Amino acid sequence: MTAKGKKESIQAARFLKHKKIDLIYASPLERTQETANIIARAVHAKVITALELNEWNLSCIQGLTMAQIRKMPIWNNYWHHPTRLKDCESLHTVAQRMMKFYQKLLSTHRNKTIVAVSHAGTIAAFILALKHHSLDELHTIAPKRGWFPSTGGIVEVKNGVVKRVL
């Protein structure tokens, strides 16, 4: 975890410290596990790994810098039509797995407060699907509404209502 990531994780933990958190779910990636454990220590909750929270698999551009990606034909689709990306995990698949996970939480943890530690693109795709927006609005409407939470961001979803918290 970077120094910035650790600072943001501690900030999120401080924000959540006095809330009654029942469980924490986290993506299996190391950085999200570290964040989840920092939060878990603050709120005294158990961390459960959930594959559904994994990052959007962009293997088609993995290992490339943003400068390199911007020079490629794939850039236009990534930025303006992310649902048209080829040779990567479909953004529809990301949204579907997140919606399925959300439905599972609603049915198995009724009236519980759950923290889910995931990734910005994954969270934004979930919220766009939840709010019935086009997934192609990933880089337009999602950031403007605070649904693309960059590192350390917290988005609250309660009874299907979404708000940017931190």
Per-residue pLDDT of the chain (166 residues; tens, 9 = 90+): 788 888 888 988 998 999 999 999 999 999 999 999 999 999 999 999 999 999 999 888 888 898 998 898 888 888 899 999 888 899 999 999 999 999 999 899 988 889 999 998 999 999 999 989 999 999 888 888 877 766 666 777 777 777 765 6
Q: Give me the pLDDT at residue 165, please.
A: 58
Show Cβ contacts of residue 24 under 8 Å, excluding neighbours closer than 6 positions: 36, 39, 40, 43, 45, 46, 47, 48, 114, 115, 116, 117
Residue for token pair 């605070």? 146
Q: Which two tokens stand for residue 66?
A: 């943003």
Q: Give me the pLDDT at residue 89, please.
A: 92
Q: Give me the pLDDT at residue 87, please.
A: 85
Residue 64 is classified by DSSP as -
* Annotated domain spans of the chain: 3-164
Q: Is 59 helix (H, G, I), strand (E, B) or coil?
A: coil
pTM of the model: 0.88
Q: In CATH, what number does 3-164 get?
A: 3.40.50.1240
